[in-house]
Amino acid sequence: MKVETLRWSHNQLEMIDQRILPAAFEYVSYDSASSVAEGIRSMVVRGAPAIGVAAAYGVALEALRLQSESMADFNIGMDAGFSTLAASRPTAVNLFWALARMRGVWESVAEQSSATVAQRLLAEAHEVLAEDIRINKAMGAYGAALLPDGARVLTHCNAGALATAGWGTALGVFRSAVEAGKNISVIADETRPFLQGARLTAWEMVQENIPVTLITDNMAGYMMAQGEVDAVVVGTDRVAANGDVANKIGTYMVAVLARRHDIPFYVACPLSTIDMSIASGASIPIEERSEDEVKGFRETHWAAEGVTIRNPAFDVTPAELVTGLITERGVILCPDAPKLRELFR
C-alpha cells in the first residue's frame, strides 16, 4: 500500500489529515505558506521529515501566490512566508533544514522573474519529497540488517509513511525488513496524548499486513520484563551534535527501560534530522502543546476540572542510551560527536 502523505495536485499541496485517521481518510488542500504553517501547527501533517517536505511546498506555494506582485512586494511576502513557516513548530529540525534549503534556492535565482523563481522553488519542493523516499529506503535497508528474522520490535509514536513523504524512518526499517523476507512483528505503544501509535502506526501496519500489537504506554516495561521485546526502533525530531536524541515524549522512558533489560535501542535518523549547530540535547527546544490534548482526547475530557496540566511534546534521550543511529549512510553505533562529524565530511 502506497501512502501519499503529501501530494501535488492541481497546483495545490494536498496533505492527509492525520488528526482524523484512522476513523476517516481525507486530504486537505493548501495554497499558501500561512495555510501550510497552520497545517503543521495543528498537526494535520506531523513527523519531522513530513514537516520538512510540507515547509518546502509552503515556500513554493507562497512564491506561486505572489508571482504577479512587484519584485519588492514579492520579496517582502516571501520573507514573511518563511517566518510564518518557521514559527509553526520548534522541535523538528527538518522544518528549519527545509527552509534553509529553499532559501538557498531562492537566493540562487533571486535576479530572475518571480514566475521563474516560483517554478524553480516548486521543482525543489518536488525534489525534497522524492529525496525523502530515497533516503528512507536507504535507511530501511541498513536498519533491516540489524533485525534478526522473527524479531519483535517495539516502536514509540509514528515514524512511518505518515511522518515522512511515504516510506518511513523507523517503520521504513520494518517495511524493508519484511521486503527482505524477515518475519518481524511490531509492538506499537499508543503514545499519549496525540495517540500517534494507536491511530497512525497501528493503521499503517494493519494496512500492510505487518503483524502489530498495540499496547498502552505504561506496558512497555512489562513487555520487556516478560522477554517479549527483542529491539526498539524509533524516529527522531532532532539529534544534537553529541548524539542526544529528541523524540516524542515517552521515548526517554522507553530508552531507560531498554537499557535496564539489555535490549538494543535504535534511532532511525536521516541526516536532515541531525543538528550539528546544537552541542547537546539540553539546547533542543521542546514544544509545549495545549493542555487540551492531555485533558482527554478531542471532545471527551476526563481530567478533573481545575487541575494543572503539562504537555511537553518531546523529550531527550541521552546519547549513551542509544545503541545506534540508522542513517542513509549506514548505522552509527554508540553515536558521539566525532562519529557524527564524520557523517558530514
Q: Which residues bind ligand LNRAV4D5 (CB under 6 A)?
A: 46-49, 157, 159, 163-164, 169, 196, 234-235, 237, 247-248, 313
The grid coordinates of residue 189 equal 505503544
- Residue number, 98 or 122, with CB nearest to ligand LNRAV4D5: 98
The grid coordinates of residue 216 equal 498502552
Catalytic center residues: 237
100 is in an annotated binding site: no
- Residue number, 247 or 317, with CB nearest to ligand LNRAV4D5: 247
196 is in an annotated binding site: yes
- Residue number, 109 or 343, with CB nearest to ligand LNRAV4D5: 343
Q: How far is the CB of 186 from ligand LNRAV4D5 (least distance, A)?
A: 14
- Residue number, 105 or 157, with CB nearest to ligand LNRAV4D5: 157
The grid coordinates of residue 230 equal 527483542
Neighbouring C-beta atoms of residue 277, cutoff 10 Å: 10
Q: How far is the CB of 99 from ligand LNRAV4D5 (least distance, A)?
A: 16
Q: How far is the CB of 237 from ligand LNRAV4D5 (least distance, A)?
A: 5
Nearest to 143 by CA among 180, 188, 94, 197: 180
Nearest to 266 by CA among 330, 209, 213: 330
89 is in an annotated binding site: yes
48 is in an annotated binding site: yes
Q: How far is the CB of 62 from ligand LNRAV4D5 (least distance, A)?
A: 22
Q: What is the DSSP string of 271-325?
A: GGGEETTSSSGGGS---B--THHHHEETTEE-SPTT-----B-EEEE-GGG-SEE
Q: Which residues of 8-41 are buried (b: 16+ CB within 10 A; e: fewer)?
A: beeebbbbbbbbebeeeeebbebebbbbbbebbb
Distance CA 144, CA 163 (A): 19
DSSP structural state of residue 190 = -
47 is in an annotated binding site: yes
Which residues make up each annotated binding site for substrate? Answer: 46-48, 89, 196, 247-248
Q: Which residues are annotated as a binding site?
A: 46-48, 89, 196, 247-248
